[in-house]
């Protein structure tokens, strides 16, 4: 007989508990982490860091989904990397979107509450206010006290946040008075001489005394009972001038008076789609904007065609096995790609200089005329395209050479058997297979040239300038350089909100073009499968 296994009594439900325990531990851990994140989010919202809080919330929800969803189990091992990648991707995007809906910029970098506090620090001397001669004392910890003498010769001791008193010798740490009735020393404090007190930058910012009676240093000779010059009125959302009664209402993040006077600093305020509307609807922008957009697309497309075309032509020449001195010539042709673009642009700028440039001097000597590269809009555009061609063709030469070497010779042998001409072989075999390899790189090149700020700005800063435009615009400006001029070089100062709005517009334009180009890339891949 076969040996029978002894029956071991088991507690009902024991296997279920063992299986459930890891899930309970995991769930408890998730709850604890989510609770900490919720507390962190509440602090972020309280402090006004809304874009960062939104990014943290999105990332937390994404992490919960990955951990709790059984189908997403393989992704869990990449969770930390995905979280960091999302944080450095999502947050900048959300922050840019948030900035685009505000007036964030020069003079508008703080909240309204912070701006009100700074404006209310401005003071004035009322008609019934008293003035005093003052002497300052400073403790080793950096605390100050003032000895005040009024017009009657009465002395007072003033400390920040404390009642102003009229002490005698032996009171408040006063040891003795000099011949002018000023304490020679106060216990715990050192008397400052006139020069030290006059050059101390902290003293004018300190309010001595209590709220109902504060003393503030006005000059090296005088301290006075000052009142806040401006007081905030929540009902009107305005600052009221206590001395004149003028009302400064909130207009797009700036307290503005009836005569156009503005109080500084301003503050961040939501403007919604105002920045976008200004870009599209402003008559001052519409005129140069159309020309700039047309040139931007023309520059990016022409640069792509010429750069890729020249690089491909050279690559095809070097693809011939019997091409003489191939290695030496190829080395020289790659040299422009090894020199930093910044230096190359500056060198070309120097060579095209109308007075000292070697190219212009050579053309003058040979033909008696040289193109006005910097003053004529068309020649300036030609110069920019030529410089970009010099900078970019080695790159396309290299990638095209690699792609050509990967194409099997069997295709060409079969085509020759079918009677295909070299031109037909190029268009029906070489180009489809080549575009499969370099298609994404062509898209990246177009995007790069569409936003090629360095070339435009370094060569001629977008010049020559357009005439008759109320905004700073040049004939060779592209969108990104035009935005830079509008946002950072305008008379109104730096405007990050406007710059962010246009950045989003450019991002959408480039994104749509990229998606369309990737669609054609898929078509190339389908063609390659049938070749």
Domain encompassing residue 395: 278-529
Residues 220 and 234 in one domain: no
- Give the C-alpha separation, 361 to 371, whole Å: 11
Question: Is residue 405 in some structural domain?
Answer: yes
CA nearest neighbour of 213 among 308, 130, 136, 299: 130
Give the residue carrying structure tokens 């357009």. 466
CATH of the domain at 513: 1.10.3720.10
Q: How much is the average pLDDT of 131-159?
A: 90
Q: Cα 76 from chain centroid?
A: 32
Residues 292 and 379 in one domain: yes
Question: Is residue 7 in some structural domain?
Answer: no
61 against 298, higher pLDDT:
298
Question: Is residue 146 in some structural domain?
Answer: yes
Residues 471 and 507 in one domain: yes
Question: Is residue 287 in some structural domain?
Answer: yes
Residues 431 and 294 in one domain: yes
- Give the C-alpha separation, 180 to 147, whole Å: 12
E strands in 261-368: none
175-189, 306-320, 326-340, 440-454: which range is least confident on average? 326-340
CATH of the domain at 190: 2.40.430.10
Question: Is residue 21 in some structural domain?
Answer: yes
Question: Is residue 501 in some structural domain?
Answer: yes
Residues 465 and 524 in one domain: yes
Residues 350 and 491 in one domain: yes
Question: Is residue 466 in some structural domain?
Answer: yes
Number of domains in the chain: 4
Kindly state the percentage of the chain with pLDDT values over 70.
92
Query: What is the pLDDT, as a whole number, of residue 247?
Result: 92
52-56, 184-188, 395-399, 497-501: which range is least confident on average? 52-56
- Give the C-alpha separation, 135 to 174, whole Å: 14
Residues 221 and 236 in one domain: no
Angle of the 358-367 helix axis to the 341-351 helix axis, nearest 10: 30
Residues 25 and 43 in one domain: yes
**Model confidence band, residue 378 (pLDDT cutoffs 50, 70, 90):** very high
List the Cα angle 124/129/131 in 5-degree steps.
95
Residues 77 and 180 in one domain: no
| End position of a domain, from candidates 228, 262, 287 | 228
Question: Is residue 500 in some structural domain?
Answer: yes
Q: For 150-175, what is each residue's pLDDT tens digit?
A: 888 889 999 988 888 888 888 888 88
E strands in 127-201: 131-138, 144-149, 155-158, 190-191
Q: For 454-505, what is each residue's pLDDT tens digit?
A: 999 999 988 898 887 777 888 999 988 888 887 776 656 678 888 888 888 8
Query: What is the pLDDT, as a whole number, of residue 147?
Result: 92
CATH of the domain at 24: 1.20.58
112 against 17, higher pLDDT:
112
**Model confidence band, residue 318 (pLDDT cutoffs 50, 70, 90):** confident
Residues 51 and 172 in one domain: no
Residues 459 and 510 in one domain: yes
Residues 240 and 222 in one domain: no
CB under 8 Å, gap of 24 or more: what pairs does 41-50 form? Answer: 48/111, 50/98
User: Is 223 within 8 Å of 146 (Cβ atoms)?
Assistant: yes
């Amino acid at each position: 007989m076969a040996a029978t296994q002894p029956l071991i009594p088991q507690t009902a439900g024991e296997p279920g508990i063992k299986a459930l325990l890891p899930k309970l531990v995991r769930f408890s851990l998730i709850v604890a982490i989510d609770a900490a994140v919720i507390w962190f989010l509440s602090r972020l919202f309280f402090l006004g860091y809304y874009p960062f809080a939104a990014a943290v919330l999105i990332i937390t929800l994404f992490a919960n989904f990955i951990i709790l969803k059984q189908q997403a189990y393989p992704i869990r091992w990449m969770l930390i990397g995905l979280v960091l990648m999302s944080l450095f991707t999502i947050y900048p995007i959300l922050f840019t979107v948030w900035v685009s809906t505000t007036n964030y910029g020069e003079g508008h970098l703080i909240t309204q509450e912070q701006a009100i506090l700074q404006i209310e620090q401005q003071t004035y001397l009322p008609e019934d206010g008293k003035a005093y001669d003052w002497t300052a004392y400073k403790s080793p910890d950096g605390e100050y006290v003032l000895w005040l003498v009024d017009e009657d010769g009465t002395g007072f001791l003033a400390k920040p946040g404390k009642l102003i008193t009229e002490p005698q010798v032996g009171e408040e740490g006063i040891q003795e008075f000099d011949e002018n009735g000023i304490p020679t020393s106060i216990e715990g404090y050192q008397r400052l001489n006139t020069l030290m007190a006059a050059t101390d930058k902290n003293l004018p910012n300190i309010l001595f005394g209590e709220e109902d009676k504060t003393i503030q240093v006005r000059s090296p000779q005088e301290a006075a009972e000052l009142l806040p010059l401006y007081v905030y009125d929540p009902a009107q959302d305005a600052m009221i001038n206590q001395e004149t009664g003028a009302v400064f209402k909130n207009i797009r993040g700036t307290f503005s008076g009836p005569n156009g006077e503005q109080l500084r600093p301003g503050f961040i305020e939501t403007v919604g789609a105002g920045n976008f509307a200004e870009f599209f609807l402003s008559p001052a922008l519409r005129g140069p904007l159309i020309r700039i957009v047309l040139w931007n697309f023309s520059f990016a497309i022409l640069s792509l065609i010429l750069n890729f075309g020249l690089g491909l032509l050279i690559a095809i020449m070097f693809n011939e096995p019997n091409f003489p001195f191939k290695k030496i010539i190829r080395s020289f042709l790659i040299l422009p790609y090894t020199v930093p673009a910044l230096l190359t642009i500056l060198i070309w700028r120097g060579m095209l200089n109308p007075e000292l440039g070697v190219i212009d001097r050579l053309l003058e000597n040979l033909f008696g005329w040289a193109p006005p590269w910097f003053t004529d809009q068309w020649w300036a555009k030609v110069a920019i395209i030529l410089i970009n061609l010099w900078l970019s063709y080695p790159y396309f030469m290299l990638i095209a050479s690699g792609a050509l070497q990967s194409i099997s010779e069997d295709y060409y042998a079969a085509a020759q058997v079918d009677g295909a001409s070299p031109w037909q072989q190029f268009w029906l075999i070489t180009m489809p297979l080549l575009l499969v390899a370099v298609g994404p790189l062509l898209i990246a090149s177009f995007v790069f040239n569409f936003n090629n700020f360095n070339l435009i700005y370094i060569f001629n800063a977008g010049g020559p300038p357009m005439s008759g435009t109320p905004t700073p615009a040049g004939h060779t400006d592209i969108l990104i350089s035009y935005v830079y001029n509008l946002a950072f070089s305008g008379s109104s100062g730096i405007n990050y909100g406007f710059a962010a709005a246009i950045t989003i517009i450019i991002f959408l334009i480039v994104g749509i073009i990229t998606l369309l180009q990737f669609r054609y890339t898929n078509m190339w891949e389908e063609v390659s499968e049938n070749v």
